[in-house]
Structure 1
Amino acid sequence: MLRTLRSRLAAAAGAAALVGTLLTLGPPAQAAVPAAVPATVPLKIINNSGRGEPLYVYNLGTLLTTGQQGWADANGTFHAWPAGGNPPTPAPDASITGPAAGQSATIRIPRFSGRIYFSYGQKLVFRLTTGGLVQPAVQNPSDPNRNILFNWSEYTLNDAGLWLNSTQVDMFSAPYSVGVQRADGSTVSTGRLKAGGYNGFFNALRGQAGGWANLIQTRSDGTVLRALSPLYGIETGALPRTVLDDYVNRVWQKYATSTLTVTPFADQPGTKYYGRVSGGVMNFTNGSGAVVTSFQKPDADSVFGCHRLLDAPNDAVRGPISRTLCAGFHRSTLLVNANQPDTTSAGFYQDAVTDHYARAIHAQMADGKAYAFAFDDVGHHESLVHDGSPLQAYLTLDPLG
């Protein structure tokens, strides 16, 4: 499972629709900090964007030792959010002045499960409800951040080390890469686009029939701000709700007369589940023939969000099967391989009906890795770096064009 922020808490009635989604609560309190993982880790922000506007950085998350939501300043000092309201109230200004173009600056990140936001030219607007922080939700036309060029990275720092990833689960926007310096001094990084990859991605969407170009949001001055994920495309009407129906129907037809075998754990090859469609429902059985979980035929919303009819609870059976199915639908591998997950990327996105957003993102990444949907880590195709004893982390902001 992805170790960073993925699930969302529901906002108070009307609040989420107004502003955005709530920051998740973190995992239970951690054990005592071992010497190998300090209380804070330096994060070097390298501004290679070439943009002349001011850069603002935010370090927001949940403190792992207490479960408190809050923000950290440049020194890594934690500040808890004050109580919010309904309607939402303005959050304290948590911005950190970022380095100018061609410069770098180092901040410290504490033991958070959180996000590093960055924005060009304008500060982001955050608000607080009685349930916590409301984050930007630019799929909403009235969101105050809609015309701001921004993006974010996600991370978890705990007693097992640092996990840091680039993400396009919600949107594809201002490009960046992430890296970590390991205890032996070596550095690993991921998330960098190929040369011309930023424009290449948007051109791929523009050239894809079926409404995929409608995911792109452009500011009145002509600046291309982002492309929404297909989940938000469905929610906003940019993509038709029937966009995946043909593929889903073919999958359901195939496994009415054949068996889909799911081996969800790479380190447990003997754990297998067998799916067959009966009465419109895909039932999964274990090796003894007992039904362990069942799935209704999913719609595009369920596939793109890996939720609803493809819900993936944090358990040992349904969740692992569901995330395998979700990855197979996104990558359109379920018809060509009855043994899932299919982890060899050569066969991904080959059907005419597929997740063209994820296809275009992966095609433009220098190492082929990305978090284009929530379970892109199935088969280790995610843009994630990890080290158990990190010396330093990196966030490198790259040019748009």
Structure 2
Amino acid sequence: MRKRKAPATRSATSAAVAVALAAAGLTALAPAAPAAAAVPETIALTFTNNSGRSEPVYIYDLGTQLSTGRQGWADAGGTFHAWPGGANPPAPAPDAAIAGPANGQSITIRLPKFSGRIYFSYGQKLVFKLATGGLVQPAVQNPSDPNSNILFNWSEYTLNDSGLWLNSTQVDMFSAPYAVGVKAPDGTTKSTGHLKPGGYQGFFNSLRSQPGGWANLIRTRADGTVLRALAPGHGIESGALPATVLSDYVNRVWSKYSTSTLTVTPFADQPNTKYFGRVSGNVMNFTNTAGAVVTSFQKPDSDSIFGCYKLLDAPNDLVRGPISRTLCAAYNRSTLLTNPNQPDTSAAGFYQDAVTNQYARKIHAQMADGAAYAFAFDDVGHHESLVHDGNPQQAYVTLDPFS
């Protein structure tokens, strides 16, 4: 499963030292910087089930051990276990499930210094396998995936010497609702990810009524259970959404910047670092303040925009990556025609064009605080559903009601 997310508006220095992960496909959320306070080897995570559902819940803590770079899982006590070698075809992975709390109950587990995912599933355990290249994770867009009929979701986190970064994500799908939180040393708790009352059903109802194939993103089990809505990139991959769904908007952007200039100021703390984009034929060239071309982008297709990859690839450098993630956010939010100065960080102007990322628009509309990770660089302008503390005292994941 592809996963494409990186810090969007950090300074050049911290962006350049973001934690990199190995072949498991898990994405780091944090820069590796000197610690302001000693972070213990494990911290408590309280996992609360307020879902209102009667099925058993299973929890998994999977990722990369930061001290060794090894991939594996952590048990409820925070002890790391490395995956054994994989096989071709992939072989079953060891059972890493932790029994979760019943509805109305909580359990506390320990998170180790790790960068990875906290999966949770309802009703049955997830199926994980090991290939020769590492862990095979659920592919939500693949109807033959062994997890395709399981109701599940995941959070992403990094715990290192600089603290905890914990998010709720919809980059791959919108599914079982949950929120995340972290307690600071002063006892205050930051949380994000909660939906508005009725927001879960409100999202699916809104998606169903959206013309243009967006309703086809919804996946339902044979018993009538709504499992998830695929992110639009996966919708294109699976044939559920037209590959040309954003083409009209891209064509208008291309026309506009054939005769005018797009200005990108990618670092909020470096207002004098600017790049200037102009379209020539099938290419948008970006120059620096000295007039030198620093990078160029081919005219992107819809999948490149939804995934912030391929023709909008964003390497972890100081020029192309920052420009690309700014463009990616602007395309998804459809702000390039209304504002030639990017990033546009005011949510009031997002998703106003008829051709836009309707999936992301509808997710943000249903979040209690407006924050979400509905596409890979939704953190441009700090609209992401992320909590962080440099000296975390405790973390939280809360399974929220479906109704």
The residue that corresponds to 1:205 in the other structure is 207
Where do 5+ consecutive residues of structure 2 fail to align?
Answer: 1-5, 8-14
Q: Retained in 1: the 8 A contact 2:87–2:130?
A: yes
Q: CA deviation at 1:370?
A: 0.1
- Amino acid paired to 1:371: Y
Q: How does 1:379-394 map to 2 (within 5 A)?
A: 379-394=381-396
- Amino acid paired to 2:98: I
Correspondent of 1:77 among 76, 79, 82:
79
Q: How far apart in 1 are the matches of 2:47 and 2:303?
A: 35
The residue that corresponds to 1:18 in the other structure is none
Correspondent of 2:107 among 105, 108, 119:
105
CA 1:31–1:356 in structure 2 vs 1: closer, same or farther (change >3 Å)?
Answer: closer
Higher mean alpha-carbon deviation, 167-176 vs 276-285, is at 276-285
Q: CA deviation at 1:377?
A: 0.2
Q: How far apart in 2 are the matches of 1:146 and 1:219?
A: 9
Q: How far apart in 2 are the matches of 1:79 and 1:342?
A: 44
CA 1:400–1:386 in structure 2 vs 1: closer, same or farther (change >3 Å)?
Answer: same
TM-score by length of 2: 0.93
- Amino acid paired to 1:132: G
CA 1:334–1:60 in structure 2 vs 1: closer, same or farther (change >3 Å)?
Answer: same
| Counterpart secondary structure, 1:255 | helix
Q: How far apart in 1 are the matches of 2:26 and 2:134?
A: 9
The residue that corresponds to 1:15 in the other structure is none
CA 1:8–1:281 in structure 2 vs 1: closer, same or farther (change >3 Å)?
Answer: farther
Q: How far apart in 2 are the matches of 1:131 and 1:93?
A: 19
Residue by residue over 1:346-370, the C-alpha shift from the partner in whole angstroms, topping out at 9 and shown as x without a partner, is: 0000000000000000000000000
- Amino acid paired to 2:338: V
Q: Retained in 2: the 8 A contact 1:26–1:63?
A: no
Question: Where does structure 1 differ by over 2 angstroms across 4 or more consecutive aligned residues?
Answer: 1-9, 22-36
| Counterpart secondary structure, 1:322 | helix
Q: CA deviation at 1:288?
A: 0.4
TM-score by length of 1: 0.94
Q: How does 1:89-168 map to 2 (within 5 A)?
A: 89-168=91-170
Correspondent of 2:374 among 364, 372, 375:
372
Q: Retained in 2: the 8 A contact 1:25–1:67?
A: no
Q: CA deviation at 1:400?
A: 1.2
The residue that corresponds to 2:12 in the other structure is none
The residue that corresponds to 1:176 in the other structure is 178
Q: Retained in 1: the 8 A contact 2:152–2:176?
A: yes
Q: How does 1:163-242 map to 2 (within 5 A)?
A: 163-242=165-244
Q: Retained in 1: the 8 A contact 2:140–2:173?
A: no
Q: How does 1:269-308 map to 2 (within 5 A)?
A: 269-308=271-310
Q: How far apart in 1 are the matches of 2:121 and 2:153?
A: 7
The residue that corresponds to 1:38 in the other structure is 40
The residue that corresponds to 2:311 in the other structure is 309
Q: Retained in 1: the 8 A contact 2:37–2:391?
A: no
Structure 2 residue 393 is matched with structure 1 residue 397: no
Q: How far apart in 2 are the matches of 1:235 and 1:340?
A: 29
| Counterpart secondary structure, 2:237 | helix
Q: How far apart in 1 are the matches of 2:29 and 2:350?
A: 33
The residue that corresponds to 1:343 in the other structure is 345
Where do 5+ consecutive residues of structure 1 fail to align?
Answer: 10-21
Residue correspondences, number: 389
Q: How far apart in 2 are the matches of 1:111 and 1:253?
A: 48
Q: CA deviation at 1:24?
A: 3.8
CA 1:324–1:68 in structure 2 vs 1: closer, same or farther (change >3 Å)?
Answer: same
RMSD of aligned residue pairs (Cα, Å): 2.0
| Counterpart secondary structure, 1:70 | strand
- Amino acid paired to 2:224: G
| Counterpart secondary structure, 2:137 | strand
| Counterpart secondary structure, 2:325 | helix
Q: CA deviation at 1:399?
A: 1.1
CA 1:31–1:372 in structure 2 vs 1: closer, same or farther (change >3 Å)?
Answer: closer
- Amino acid paired to 1:362: H
Q: Retained in 2: the 8 A contact 1:5–1:154?
A: no
The residue that corresponds to 1:13 in the other structure is none
Q: Retained in 2: the 8 A contact 1:42–1:108?
A: yes
Q: Retained in 1: the 8 A contact 2:157–2:165?
A: yes
- Amino acid paired to 1:71: W
- Amino acid paired to 2:233: L
Q: How far apart in 2 are the matches of 1:6 and 1:203?
A: 38
Q: CA deviation at 1:23?
A: 3.2
Residue by residue over 1:230-285, the C-alpha shift from the partner in whole angstroms, topping out at 9 and shown as x without a partner, is: 00000011000110000000000000000000000000000000000012210000
- Amino acid paired to 1:95: A
- Amino acid paired to 2:361: R
Q: CA deviation at 1:333?
A: 0.2
The residue that corresponds to 1:88 in the other structure is 90
The residue that corresponds to 2:10 in the other structure is none
Residue by residue over 1:13-65, the C-alpha shift from the partner in whole angstroms, topping out at 9 and shown as x without a partner, is: xxxxxxxxx43487999799886211001000010001111100000010001
